[in-house]
Amino acid sequence: MDPLTEHRPVNGPIVYGFLRLPRKAAARQTALTGALAEYCRSHELVLGAIFIERGRITSAPDAAFTGLLDVLDLPDVYGVVLPAASHLGPKPIAAERRRQITGSGKRLMLVRGSRTTHRSPDRARRGTPGPTPALDAET
């Protein structure tokens, strides 16, 4: 008799993480990396890599975010996972980064949603795209 599907190794969809951290934040990086890894494990996602942006965001493109956008063009990439929406940066920059990620056709998943990431019933009916706070337990 074959084992249940849940007992067989399955390669889930590939996602990439993104963190925005201060220059000296080793403990925070360790904790957030662990949170992303646990989120992916519990949702049967394969965490391909984590891109880390350090320091202040300037108007110049950041190498970490540019690298993230580059891997989103690879085949079989499902999306991006963030600890929270704030890791995309300040509001004007975050809006553009969110547009770039979702414009690539990939999913944007948040380990921890914020008040602004939850859709109101009216917004959900209009089909307005937004980040995915977390996957259902069944997925």
Is the model's pLDDT at 31 over the cut of 80? yes
**Could you tell me if 40 and 81 are in contact, meaning their C-beta atoms sit under 8 angstroms apart?**
yes
Predicted confidence at residue 125, as pLDDT, reads 40
- In percent, how much of the chain has pLDDT > 90? 58
6: pLDDT confidence band, cut at 50, 70 and 90? low
What kind and span of H or E run contains 31? helix 26-42
Is the model's pLDDT at 132 over the cut of 80? no
Predicted confidence at residue 2, as pLDDT, reads 55
Q: Out of 36-40, 46-50, 119-123, which region has the weakest mean confidence (pLDDT)?
A: 119-123
The full set of domains in the chain, from first to last, is 14-125 (3.40.50.1390)
122: pLDDT confidence band, cut at 50, 70 and 90? very low
24: pLDDT confidence band, cut at 50, 70 and 90? confident
Q: To the nearest whole number, what is the mean pLDDT of the chain?
A: 80
Residue listed under structure tokens 């890599």: 49
**pTM of structure:** 0.73
CA-to-CA dists, residue 118 to 90, 132, 135, angstroms: 19, 9, 13
Integer-rounded Cα Rg, in Å, for the chain is: 16
The tokens for 70 are 């580059």
Is the model's pLDDT at 47 over the cut of 90? yes
Predicted confidence at residue 8, as pLDDT, reads 61
